[in-house]
């Protein structure tokens, strides 16, 4: 078989399973097998593919038919114009999270910060911030040892290992230092709503990174309380929140001496990120 035959075969299989991005997915998976860009495989459409590569491709298509996310199949995801290593132990980075990174970079571009990233996962938020705020350092924490190992690999990949430290640690634990900026993209989906998520998310992404408890705010609430202890005076707290959670979260922030300075809207005009300043 050649390249175009395989792409058409894979796309047809995915289309029959009603996977919306069937053609794109088929191209991405073949580019992974051939270790070439999508553009290259489309140009070299008549390239003959050997049996081992065909078998590998068929296996990936079969896994995608079960709604396993493309990012887990190719083991990476682009975020902030960088490719991050990910696997099923880490949440897949979303475009909405880039909105928070963009705002925090704009606010702090020429500053020297100490940053804490709570629930760091793949490390994409902290490493993206450090790549732009050059004089800063940061710590990423997560209760998953496997996620921390992935974050360390990403720090090495993007050559930020000297300014980023990743620790298997709960944010409840004692910190011996205070931070200029705390960022957190924590689980915010109410437990009862997990069953309604898309199959790609519900079946494959780590529940630990999705389930926010009864009202979705269990960990967000705890982070706001903890941030008061470990943020410097006038330090910043960046939080990603779920749709419809703004009123409750803004009330929590105000009650705990935070002033909301920036509300960030996603591409569907929902408030998805809040940047607040601690005013003790």
Cβ atoms of 254 and 248 within 8 Å: the answer is no
164 and 264 within one domain: yes
Which pLDDT score is estimated for 18? Answer: 93
**Over the stretch 240-269, which tens digit does the pLDDT of each residue have?**
999 999 999 999 999 999 999 999 999 889
Q: What phi and psi values does residue 9 have, to the nearest 5 degrees?
A: -60, -50
Distance CA 37, CA 257 (A): 50
18 and 156 within one domain: no
Among candidate residues 154, 150, 103, the one with its CA nearest the CA of residue 129: 103
Grouping H, G, I as helix, E, B as strand and the rest as coil, residue 107 is helix
Q: What phi and psi values does residue 227 have, to the nearest 5 degrees?
A: -60, -30
Which pLDDT score is estimated for 211? Answer: 84
Cβ atoms of 125 and 98 within 8 Å: the answer is no
Among candidate residues 121, 107, 91, the one with its CA nearest the CA of residue 237: 107
Distance CA 95, CA 210 (A): 16
Residue finishing a domain among 32, 66, 100: 66
262 and 134 within one domain: yes
Is residue 34 one of the residues assigned to a domain?
Answer: yes
Parent domain of 49: 3-66
194 and 131 within one domain: yes
* DSSP-derived pairing of the beta strands 114-118 and 179-184: parallel
Is residue 71 one of the residues assigned to a domain?
Answer: no
249 and 115 within one domain: yes
Which residues lie below 8 Å from residue 101, measured CB to CB, with a gap of 6+?
80, 125, 128, 129, 132
**Over the stretch 194-224, which tens digit does the pLDDT of each residue have?**
999 999 999 999 988 898 889 999 999 999 9
Is residue 138 one of the residues assigned to a domain?
Answer: yes
Grouping H, G, I as helix, E, B as strand and the rest as coil, residue 18 is coil
List of the chain residues with pLDDT < 70:
174
Sign of CA dihedral 216, 142, 133, 114: positive
Is residue 186 one of the residues assigned to a domain?
Answer: yes
41 and 15 within one domain: yes
180 and 93 within one domain: yes
How many Cα atoms sit within 13 Å of 211 on the Cβ side?
10
46 and 89 within one domain: no
Task: Please count the structural domains in the chain.
Answer: 2
Distance CA 166, CA 127 (A): 11
Residue finishing a domain among 19, 35, 66: 66
179 and 57 within one domain: no
């Amino acid at each position: 078989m050649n390249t175009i035959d395989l792409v058409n075969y894979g796309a047809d299989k995915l289309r029959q399973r009603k996977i919306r991005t069937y053609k794109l997915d088929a191209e991405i998976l073949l580019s992974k097998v051939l270790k070439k860009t999508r553009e290259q495989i489309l140009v070299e459409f008549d390239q003959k593919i050997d049996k081992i590569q065909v078998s590998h491709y068929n296996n990936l298509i079969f896994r995608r038919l079960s709604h396993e996310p493309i990012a887990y199949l190719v083991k990476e995801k682009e975020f902030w114009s960088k490719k991050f290593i990910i696997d099923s132990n880490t949440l897949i980075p979303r475009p909405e999270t880039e909105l928070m990174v963009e705002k925090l970079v704009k606010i702090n571009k020429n500053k020297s910060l100490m940053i804490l990233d709570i629930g760091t996962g793949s490390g994409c938020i902290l490493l993206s911030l450090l790549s732009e705020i050059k004089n800063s350092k940061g710590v990423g924490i997560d209760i998953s040892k496997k996620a921390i190992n992935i974050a360390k690999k990403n720090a090495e990949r993007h050559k930020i290992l000297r300014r980023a430290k990743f620790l298997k640690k709960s944010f409840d634990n004692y910190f011996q230092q205070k931070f200029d900026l705390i960022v957190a993209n924590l689980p915010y989906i109410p437990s009862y709503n997990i069953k309604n998520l898309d199959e790609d998310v519900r079946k494959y992404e780590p529940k630990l990174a999705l389930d926010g408890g009864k009202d979705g705010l269990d960990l967000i609430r705890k982070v706001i309380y903890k941030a008061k202890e470990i943020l410097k005076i006038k330090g910043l707290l960046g939080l990603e929140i779920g749709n419809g959670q703004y009123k409750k979260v803004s009330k929590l922030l105000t009650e705990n001496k935070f002033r909301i300075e920036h509300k960030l809207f996603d591409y569907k005009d929902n408030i998805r990120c809040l940047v607040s300043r601690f005013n003790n």
